Structure 1
């Protein structure tokens, strides 16, 4: 698990899948709004003219020198919901990210978002 104090150190590091295949570079961390613990990362992928940010869970993430290894295969991550490089995550798209990774999604009691960017 990435600790909140370490987040800035891992920005722009390579994100790799369990087999070591490079997915892209870590762009930002999203934390659970209820616990402030890291939950998802956005990964910069694509060709220079078609860049996008895909979401990947950080559960079971392993940190190494210059890389973050996630628990999901590159092919699964590449098909995850994405946003443009200058966009923010719309609240209505949050649930789709969790469903893509077959994770439970539970917004706050008053409909609060589950993820916040750090």
Structure 2
């Protein structure tokens, strides 16, 4: 996996699916508080004036000069849990984000995801 610091440099760049279809623009990196490794990105999707941020896992993601390629199809990510552009992910909503992608969610002593 690549360091979260490097992913911050990708803010605003394209996030694409395995077929090269654009999902949206990378907005922020969320790290797993149990491992301090990048776990999800929020991706800006929607139409002018009606944008929202969806959560997309970084498991198996790769980077290229102008995009972050994730291993999840655009169709799946389009129905992913999200937040408003100025919103925050509530701790109670974290399990839903993991479940959407079939990823295990372990409850730790505190929140599982933190924006970096």
Q: TM-score range by the shorter chain?
A: over 0.9
Segments of structure 1 that go 5 or more residues without pairing to the other structure are none
**Structure 1 residue 7: deviation in Å?**
2.2
RMSD: 0.8
**1:93 aligned residue:** 93
**2:15 aligned residue:** 15
**Structure 1 residue 36: deviation in Å?**
1.0
CA distance in 2, matches of 1:30, 1:3: 12
**Structure 1 residue 54: deviation in Å?**
0.3
CA distance in 2, matches of 1:5, 1:113: 20
Cα-to-partner distance string for 1:40-82 (whole Å, 9 max, x where unaligned): 0000000012100000000100100110000000000010000
Give the structure-1-normalised TM-score: 0.95
Dislocated runs of 4+, deviation >4 Å: none
Structure in which a larger fraction of residues adopt strand: 2
Q: Match of 2:8, SS?
A: helix
**Structure 1 residue 25: deviation in Å?**
0.3
Segments of structure 2 that go 5 or more residues without pairing to the other structure are none
**1:52 aligned residue:** 52
